[in-house]
Structure 1
């Protein structure tokens, strides 16, 4: 159990929790929540669990299809499953990942019964995208599309589906919000690619940063963070966000920390980026909770 929890990378779950919470808060601001308090709280619980299981499932499945691993793991790959030679632990993680995704499917199907076919279609797209991130024969992360798909999947798609559970109708607002929050998601992924650039290049792993070059990868990474701030300012100026959303400028000292890590120790870039995302996200969520437009 401890191995499964570790390999599901619980530290990454902050992304899912912020995205689902943003969708729920968007629905609350639109007046769709708490008309049936007990049932709405139950749906909030299901949304959160489904998001956590989906993210964990992606991480577990990703491990199974990783060909470039340490020699110690390669030596212990002596069991066959689905045509792949893997360790018993890797096979266990893969099966758990599929189980997590199946439970997510059941939860999504249940919620779709109350929210409509649109939610069910989005659920199927989300599950396919989650598996295809690393799962063969798709594995779009190996085509340099990991950052793009992570933004779509964990950003607009997850936020909007969480909103749709309560609204049962379309709105552009949760999508606009997600395009601010969601920019940090590919930034975290690019931080990982930047850290592993030399190793990935030597192993022939075609991440986006390897394909376009280290310098361009760094520029895109910084660009995502800068545009997260710019988007927030624009939404505040056009009154789609409260003006005091500009409180996010208080997180700028964390950007300085990122700049220092980029120069001195890229191993610390991922936690530094996640810390910035957490601070940025929590501040904006609090603004949305406390303010009516």
Structure 2
């Protein structure tokens, strides 16, 4: 079946909205963290940092575009859908244009990846290629990852520890278990963004036959799981400090606890998607605040122990 959408000249604001800028922090915060970790080995290659940051943002933006394209093709999005870019269903941009732009972003990221590999290791190409494949299959394919209970796991793993460790590796040429353990806390919070999205979309996803984790658990238990994920992220970070594995300065992340409490409370008792948008925003903000505080803690810890 052909898809026909009335064409329009999209403004810069439309294209910006297509990339869902509120989600992009999940792509650049891990790069900040991985780079801050590399400081402990007195390593900071600015061009590699910029390249990794750009590639990560490009892949995240492409992921959002592919998600919008396939959700439209499958009939999941319409002009009344909450929390989408709406470039296709509300702004009249051709679905093919959105898909092709996503592919172009992927190609730009691959080109940058070649430079990164030339400056570090070609093993990075294997992990990077897998990350792009997961990014695409998150929304594409006969059984998209986003339609399964594994969405939170894949998004948390590849946008958390994988991005952080790639960033750390290309700067230092090594991996350390200490920082891998610390990166798990960030992965948990990125997975929580995915879970919050699925809690909001639970009813609509259920109607379209999806089997997300939120659907399997039900909204009340999914909200409890969200709170447990927040708690685990903080416990892991605090435990690593008390075990002497990472600098005590990373305890700055405790200042983001009020945002975690706010996100859970904003979900409780809500059933309509638009009512849960503030909770979703708070969850995304928690990841950003936590990640920036963690970065600051690592940087301060490096300079105070130099």
Equivalent residues of 1:258, 1:269 under 8 A apart: yes
| Deviation at residue 72 of structure 1 after TM alignment | 8.0
Residue in structure 1 matched with residue 97 of structure 2 by the alignment? 92
CA-to-partner distance for each residue in 1:267-290, whole Å, 9 max, x for gaps?
Answer: 211111122222222211111001
Among 272, 285, 290, the alignment partner of 1:275 is: 285
Consecutive unaligned residues in structure 2, runs of 5 or more: 1-11, 82-91, 270-274
Among 67, 71, 78, the alignment partner of 1:70 is: 78
In structure 1, distance between residues paired with 2:176 and 2:250: 21
Is the alpha carbon distance of 1:88 and 1:239 closer, same or farther for their aligned partners in structure 2, counting shifts above 3 Å?
Answer: same
Equivalent residues of 1:187, 1:221 under 8 A apart: yes
Aligned length: 275
Residue in structure 2 matched with residue 289 of structure 1 by the alignment? 299
In structure 2, distance between residues paired with 1:171 and 1:119: 16
Greater alpha carbon shift after TM alignment, 246-255 vs 61-70: 246-255
| Deviation at residue 170 of structure 1 after TM alignment | 2.8
Equivalent residues of 1:26, 1:163 under 8 A apart: yes
Is the alpha carbon distance of 1:190 and 1:43 closer, same or farther for their aligned partners in structure 2, counting shifts above 3 Å?
Answer: same
Computed over aligned residues only, the root mean square deviation of the Cα atoms, in angstroms, reads 2.0
Residue in structure 2 matched with residue 84 of structure 1 by the alignment? none
| Deviation at residue 53 of structure 1 after TM alignment | 0.2
Among 200, 204, 207, the alignment partner of 2:209 is: 204
In structure 2, distance between residues paired with 1:263 and 1:213: 13
Does residue 172 (structure 1) correspond to residue 177 (structure 2)? The answer is yes
In structure 2, distance between residues paired with 1:17 and 1:279: 12
Consecutive unaligned residues in structure 1, runs of 5 or more: 34-39, 74-86
| Greater fraction of residues in helix | 1
Equivalent residues of 2:266, 2:276 under 8 A apart: yes
Residue in structure 1 matched with residue 60 of structure 2 by the alignment? 55
| Deviation at residue 138 of structure 1 after TM alignment | 5.0
Equivalent residues of 2:33, 2:294 under 8 A apart: no
| Deviation at residue 44 of structure 1 after TM alignment | 1.3
Among 36, 61, 75, the alignment partner of 1:25 is: 36
Residue in structure 1 matched with residue 6 of structure 2 by the alignment? none
Equivalent residues of 2:145, 2:151 under 8 A apart: yes
CA-to-partner distance for each residue in 1:120-169, whole Å, 9 max, x for gaps?
Answer: 11111111111111122452111221111001110111111111111223
- TM-score, with length taken from structure 2: 0.84
In structure 1, distance between residues paired with 2:150 and 2:284: 20
In structure 1, distance between residues paired with 2:138 and 2:33: 23
Q: Which consecutive segments of 4 or more residues in structure 1 shift more than 3 A? A: none
CA-to-partner distance for each residue in 1:12-52, whole Å, 9 max, x for gaps?
Answer: 1111111011111111222222xxxxxx2222111111011
